[in-house]
Structure 1
Amino acid sequence: MQERRPVGWWVRRLDELLERGLDGVVAGEGLTRRHWQLLQSVAGGPVPRADLHTALAGFAGPRDLDAALADLAARGWLADDAGTLALTADGRTAHERLAAAVGAFRRRVADGLTAEEYAAVVAGLARMVANVEQALADQPRR
């Protein structure tokens, strides 16, 4: 029966499980997946707040993202320089600590898949996303 489920079912189920799993990984620090996504997004260097909103729009609205950003700033993990956000020294330490736990979870998610199989799954999903985006763009406007 499970093999007959459409890809949308599997994608939605996987997203639900990833949300629960990642929330569980970071819950010990009083964080959620959204907090992690924001920390990870800023870990590479300063990022304008608007870019974070755009990058994570599919996961949360501006109000929820701003609440998580405010929480990270209140912890002393995030600095805001005129709308450009960067990790503080404490934020980098927290990110490194959490990255290890998130990395272990991600390895568990991909357990049993070779690197090539994992890459093929991601490439296939990316192609499907592009196909649906194009199909939606091709639909007549109402």
Structure 2
Amino acid sequence: MDNEKPMQPAIRQPLGFWTARAGEAIRNRTRGALAGLGVSQPEWWVLHQLSQHPEGIERAAMVEVVGPNESLEAIEIAIASSASKGWLVESGELLVPTEAGFEIFARAAGLQAELQAERMHGISEEDFVTTITVLQRTIKNVGGQAWHW
């Protein structure tokens, strides 16, 4: 930690505080790095789904899968901006990736791999899995719901 002030033992620390701070830090780092490529994070989510569906994906399916990451409005804006940047074309209800979309996806995917390696520095795969499992259980324990593809 950069903060040199003494803290309570981890067992007495508030989970909500740390999950919020972790989320903010990860989001800020990711969004800043992607911005260097001219890609917003919601556009990245759209590009990622298009990479999984090179033949195209229905708009409603895209919004359903990506929607939990952000507001539905932000996803619609990301679809529109991706289209205006030439990364996808709309063919009826299908969103179809373009060659430019595949190219920017490849660049952004490489960056995302670098960011994941950065986030995982000093963290074992086992600790990572435990953390995700604990967070999922905590959400369930407090009556929340969450899902990620």
More helix by share: 1
Structure 1 residue aligned with 2:4: none
Structure 1 residues 131 and 55: alpha-carbon distance in aligned structure 2, compared to 1, 3 A threshold: farther
Structure 1 unaligned residues grouped into runs of 5+? 138-142
Kindly indicate whether residue 47 of structure 2 is the aligned counterpart of residue 16 of structure 1.
no
Deviations 1:74-109 (A, max 9, x none): 111112222222321211111111101111011111
Structure 1 residues 83 and 5: alpha-carbon distance in aligned structure 2, compared to 1, 3 A threshold: farther
Total equivalences in the alignment:
135
Structure 1 length-normalised TM: 0.83
Q: Percent identity?
A: 24
Kindly indicate whether residue 65 of structure 2 is the aligned counterpart of residue 85 of structure 1.
no
**Which of 12, 22, 27 is the aligned partner of 2:35?**
27
For residue 136 of structure 1, report the CA deviation from its aligned partner: 5.4
Q: Is the 8 A contact 1:43 1:86 kept in 2?
A: no
Structure 1 residue aligned with 2:113: 103
Return the alpha-carbon distance in structure 1 between the equivalents of residues 17 and 118 of structure 2. 21
Return the alpha-carbon distance in structure 1 between the equivalents of residues 132 and 28 of structure 2. 20
Structure 1 residues 136 and 116: alpha-carbon distance in aligned structure 2, compared to 1, 3 A threshold: closer
Structure 2 unaligned residues grouped into runs of 5+? 1-6
Return the alpha-carbon distance in structure 1 between the equivalents of residues 138 and 96 of structure 2. 33
Structure 2 residue aligned with 1:116: 126
How large is the RMSD of aligned CA atoms in angstroms?
2.0
Return the alpha-carbon distance in structure 2 between the equivalents of residues 111 and 78 of structure 1. 34
Deviations 1:52-81 (A, max 9, x none): 222333332232211111111111111222
